[in-house]
Amino acid sequence: MSHQEKDSFGAKLGMWLFLFTEMLLFGGVFILYSVYLNRYPKEFGLGGHQLDLVFGATNTVVLLTSSLFAAMSVTAIKRGAKRLTLGLLSVTIGCALVFLCIKYLEWSAKFHHGIYPNSPKLIAGPPGESIFFSLYYLTTGLHGIHVVIGGILMTWTAVMVQKGILNSTDNVTLENVTLYWHLVDLVWIFIFPLYYLIL
Amino acid sequence: MSQDTAIGQGGFWRDTGRTGIGSWIFSTDHKRIGLMYLYCVLGFFLVGVSLGLLIRLELIAPGPTIVTAQTYNALFTVHGVVMIFLFIIPGIPASFGNLVLPIQLGARDVAFPRVNLLSWWLYAIGAVIVLVSLFTGGGAPDTGWTFYVPFSARTTTNVSLAVFGVFVLGFSSILTGINFITTIHRMRAPGMTWTRIPLFAWSLYATAWVQVLATPIIAITLLLVITERILGLGLFDPTRGGDPVMYQHMFWIYSHPAVYIMILPGMGVISDIIPVFSRKPIFGYKMIAFSSLAIAAAGSAVWGHHMYTSGMSDLGILVFSFLTFIVAIPSAIKVFNWVSTMYKGSISLEAPMLFALSFILLFSIGGLSGLILGAAATDIHVHDTHFVVGHFHYVMFGGTGFAFFAAAHYWLPKYYGRRYKEKPAIVGWILMFVGFNVMYFTMQVLGMEGMPRRYYDYLPEFARLNLVATVGSWILVAGIIIVVWNLWRGLFRGEPFTGNPWGGATLEWSIATPPPTENFDEDPVVTHGPYEFKGAGVP
Ligand code: HEM
Ligand SMILES: [Cu+2]
């Protein structure tokens, strides 16, 4: 294999491997979740009821929409439609921002009720409840960081599309960033039922 | 590199636009990155050795001798952290893997040269963070390199920063793994079928999978330690409903497979060296290649053998004990094949071969003592004693450490165009080998007799053997100094090294010495296997 030509299959292979490691990273949290769910089923159920279903559901819709637009941007760039690609990417980035705003509202409402890591209220309550919320903040926080990173990557690719560095023939970077975004979405698809809908 | 003129032979040392340090720390050439890793790794090895020497010195006699108890705790922690995360995990794959892998595959570079450079930067940054953590905050961490909770969540020493440094190092390791897997899949020269891949490359392939699949678990575990310390999540805190044993599970789900990140590349080095210095093709190529994958797979399911004494169910102990014994099979296959390769070969005992031979012996001792630890009944007797310390040094240092030096003597002349002197190399090797066994075998005996590990002080009846072990450490270090000095001097000032003096048949021996920047003037076409060299009965 000569060194000049770009190996886009190789690039995608690398990205898939990386996404695999990200799944395993979250997998660690989910292992903890399942162990503690097994130990404190009642408290986990009660904890889940305290989470705001409206916020959670809205965010699910927002993320799924963003994933759709991200996927369409890949098709668009392959057809050479630069303006359209940029438009679709902007919607994706917008959705990411909306998601983060909702998350902020959700967290601050909880904080307001004295539910945050190590808070006196949680320490006084049953241990299982404190574990539930610790895991909740841990998982959604880690996921939130990934949303931020994904948003930054999206913005960066949008700039490259704008400059024409990414175009109809050379677009594997956009594809890879979109894959990353799908992963962020996928992880949320697990978080939502496990924390909000459980029991 | 001010000695540029001394290296002299051109190759990738010369032909580059930039000069000075920038031509190294911003270079995407896998050879330069490999050498940068090599120097860092070697530097940290020497730091770690100095700390090990201090540990042994403290233990020379009962009672306080040279340091306080707190300093002693910091010493064995930092020794462990440096040796594990800065020396032995990146050791062979990141340095020799980068130097050798693309050339062995017939490629001009790895699949993602810029990611490769990023890996090195992450390694350097992670290392700096770890070093900074020693001198800031509440002082050097004192938890042991395993950072076990609840102590690691409570101690006032600088654990958070050290753990964060290790997290960054893990990221570097993951990226290297991804790069190598993709390189092996996509960059092989025409004709390089899967059964013509050199065994060193095969071992890197298995290693890379472990790096990719296991490292994320340690990443999240380390993040949990940090959040535990900063936010007080209580996930591992029994008073808050958490479970400290869960920490141990998560830690060892990574760290046991990580043992194979440490040893597999070393096995690959040995598989490349033994046939060349026996003048015979490797015996059982496919079995060796396959056993690397088998070790990687089976080795991922045995983490529980570290926790027999922490209150696991009897069934769990039984299962983990059984699985642990399974891993011994592919390892034994390799040893058997190496020995068979040498059978009736015409063996030339040069420095790389001596290190390779001692690898086989020391690794076997380490592996057999591992079986004693794998069987629950005997483990309960020797758990957390000096027997364990002896065991893992036999595997990690006697195995991978010696393989590292074997690789250095085998490959480095190729990259410098100059070679070390043979006599000092052999003298150094003898001292290392003797000192090693005097020290670690004695430590295993001590452990059998009941001397615990990570203890500052011990009962008077252990005094004599501890003195022996400490004297052993001096012999060992004398050997290391001679070997490193001889390599260093030889590579910059030694006799010219050209052509293919070892007679290897892998692709790196078919190109100029030192290799040119792009490795190959013309993309090679592979027509034969990696061990079909002249003198091996193959024309
Ligand atoms: C001259 C070389 C070395 C000497 C003198 C030495 C000495 C020691 C001693 C005495 C201990 C026991 C600490 C204790 O349990 O109280 C120890 C622990 C350890 N050593 Fe070494 N060692 C050397 C080389 C290495 C190498 C090459 C490696 C890695 C490949 C290594 C990795 C470790 C680790 C991981 C520990 C465990 C620390 C802990 O228990 O937390 N050492 N070493
Ligand atoms: Cu293990």
CA distances from A109 to A59, A103, A104, A113, B439 (A): 16, 10, 9, 7, 61
Report if residue B10 sits inside a domain.
no
ipTM exceeding the 0.85 mark: yes
Q: Is B534 left (phi over 0), alpha (psi -120 to 50) or beta?
A: beta
Structure tokens at B215: 């490292």
Q: Is B459 exposed, middle or buried (0-12, 13-18, 19+ CB in 10 A)?
A: exposed
Under DSSP, the state recorded for B496 is E
Q: At what angle do helices A127-163 and A172-191 cross, to 10 degrees?
A: 160
Segment A134-156, tens digit of pLDDT: 999 999 999 999 999 999 999 99
Backbone φ, ψ for residue B247 (5° rounding): -60, -45
What's the A145 CA to ligand 2 centre distance in angstroms?
A: 33
B226 touches chain A (CB under 8 A): no
* Diameter of chain B measured on Cα atoms: 72
What band does B528 get if pLDDT is binned at 50, 70 and 90? Answer: confident
pLDDT at site A199:
64
Render A18-80 in DSSP notation, one character per residue.
HHHHHHHHHHHHHHHHHHHHHH-HHHHHHHHHHS-HHHHHHHHHHHHHHHHHHHHHHHHHHTT
- Is residue B11 situated within a structural domain? no
Least confident of A62-66, B1-5, B166-170: B1-5
Cα nearest neighbour of A39 on chain B: B241
What is the C-alpha to C-alpha distance for residues A124 and A135, in angstroms, rounded to an integer? 17
Residues B441, B473: Cα–Cα separation, whole Å: 12
Put simply, the answer to whether B241 touches A126 (Cβ < 8 Å) is yes
**Distance (Å, whole) CA B143 – CA A96:** 40
Residues with CB under 6 A from ligand 1: B 48-49, 52-53, 55-56, 76, 79-80, 83-84, 87-88, 144-145, 389, 393, 396-397, 401, 453-454, 473, 476-477
Cβ contacts of A21 on chain B, cutoff 8 Å: 174, 178, 212-213, 215-216
Residue whose C-alpha is closest to residue B223's, from A148, A133, A186, A28: A28
B130 in Cβ contact with B166 (< 8 Å): yes
A113 by Cβ neighbours in 10 Å (0-12 / 13-18 / 19+) ranks as exposed
> CA B15, CA A194: separation in Å to the nearest integer?
58
Q: What is the DSSP letter of B189?
A: P
> Token pair for residue B323?
């699985």
Structural domains of chain A, count = 1
> Contact, B178 vs B212, CB < 8 A?
yes
Is A190 a member of any domain?
yes
A162, pLDDT greater than 90: yes
pLDDT tens per residue, range A107-134: 999 999 888 888 888 888 888 889 999 9
Phi, then psi, of B385 in degrees rounded to 5:
-110, 180
pLDDT of the residue at B15: 64
What is chain B's mean pLDDT, rounded? 91
Give pTM, 2 decimals: 0.93
Could you tell me the distance, in angstroms and rounded to a whole number, from the CA of residue B302 to the centre of ligand 2?
6
- What does DSSP say about strands B418-419 and B495-496: parallel, antiparallel, or unpaired? antiparallel
DSSP B95: I
Angstrom distance (rounded) from CA A180 to CA A177: 5
Q: How far is the CA of B441 from the centre of ligand 2 (A)?
A: 20
Say whether B212 and A127 touch across the interface (CB within 8 A).
Answer: no
Taking an 8 Å cut-off on Cβ atoms, the answer to whether B216 and A29 are in contact is: no
Return d(Cα B250, Cα A32) in angstroms, integer.
9
How many domains in chain B?
Answer: 1
List CB contacts of B302: < 8 A, sequence separation 6 or more. Answer: B256, B320, B323, B324, B326, B327, B374
pLDDT digits (tens, 9 = 90+) for B71-106: 999 999 999 999 999 999 999 999 999 999 999 999
How far is it, in rounded angstroms, from Cα B487 to Cα B408? 8
Name which of A3, A25, A134 is nearest B220 (Cβ-Cβ).
A25
Distance of CA B130 to the CA centre of its chain: 18
Q: How far apart are the first and last CA of chain A?
A: 55
Structure tokens at A94: 């917008």
- Going by C-alpha positions, the residue among B253, B255, B167, B257 that lies closest to residue B210 is B257
pLDDT, tens digit, 9 for 90 and up, residues B380-431: 999 999 999 999 999 999 999 999 999 999 999 999 999 999 999 999 999 9
Q: Using alpha carbons only, what angle is made at residue B505 by residues B194 and B532, rounded to the nearest 5 degrees?
A: 75
Of B443, B432, B220, the residue nearest A138 (C-alpha) = B220
User: Under an 8 A CB cutoff, do A27 and B217 touch?
Assistant: yes
Distance B401 CA to ligand 1 centre (A): 12
Residue A77 sits in a domain whose CATH number is: 1.20.120.80
> Which residue's alpha carbon is at the smallest distance from atom 16 of ligand 1?
B454
pLDDT of B448 > 50? The answer is yes
Residue B437, both tokens: 């066994």
> How many interface pairs between A and B have CB atoms less than 8 angstroms apart?
111
Residues of B whose CB is below 8 A from A142: 223
Query: Nearest ligand to the C-alpha of residue B388?
Result: 1
Q: Which residues contact A169 (CB under 8 A, 6 or more apart)?
A: none
Interface probe for B, chosen from A2, A3, A119, A123 (most Cβ of B below 10 Å), is: A3
Q: Report if residue A100 sits inside a domain.
A: yes
Is position A163 within any domain?
yes
> Residues of B with CB below 8 A from A31's CB?
250
**pLDDT per residue as tens digits for the range B19-48:** 778 888 898 999 999 999 999 999 999 999
Residue A177 is assigned to a structural domain of this protein:
yes
Work out the pLDDT band at B535, boundaries 50, 70, 90: low
For B274-319, write each residue's pLDDT tens digit.
999 998 899 999 999 999 999 988 888 899 999 998 888 889 899 9
**Over 50: is that where the pLDDT of A1 sits?**
no
**Ligand 1 centroid to residue B389 C-alpha, Å:** 7
Where residue B517 sits, what CATH number does that domain have? Answer: 1.20.210.10
The pLDDT tens digits of the residues spanning B427-440 come to 999 999 999 999 99
Q: Whose CA is nearest to atom 22 of ligand 1?
A: B52
Cα separation, B273 vs B531, whole angstroms:
10
- Count the neighbouring beta carbons within 10 Å of the beta carbon of residue B453: 18
Find, in chain B, the residue whose alpha carbon is nearest to that of A26.
Answer: B220
Copy the structure tokens of residue B293. Answer: 């994958």
What pLDDT shows up at residue A101?
96
Q: Do the domain assignments include residue A164?
A: yes
Q: Note whether residue B134 is domain-resident.
A: yes
What is the C-alpha separation between B404 and B88, in angstroms, rounded?
9
**Angle B115-B83-B306 from CA coordinates, rounded to 5°:** 100
Q: In this complex, do A28 and B221 lie within 8 Å of one another by their Cβ atoms?
A: yes
Classify residue B10 as left (phi > 0), alpha (psi -120 to 50) or beta.
Answer: left
Q: Which two tokens stand for residue A104?
A: 């902020």
Kindly give the interhelix angle for B199-231 and A8-39, rounded to the nearest 10 degrees: 40
Distance CA B42, CA B87 (A): 7
A6 lies in some domain: no
Number of helices and strands in chain A (H, E): 7, 0
Residue B251 lies in a domain: yes
Query: Is A37 among the domain residues?
Result: no
Q: Which ligand is nearest to the CA of B253?
A: 2
DSSP assignment letter at B188: P
Q: Which of B189, B213, B242 sits opposite A131 (nearest CB)?
A: B242
Domain that holds residue B347: 19-536
User: Is A122 inside a domain boundary?
Assistant: yes
One-letter amino acid of B249: H
Ligand of minimum distance to the alpha carbon of B146: 1
Cα separation, B534 vs B539, whole angstroms: 6
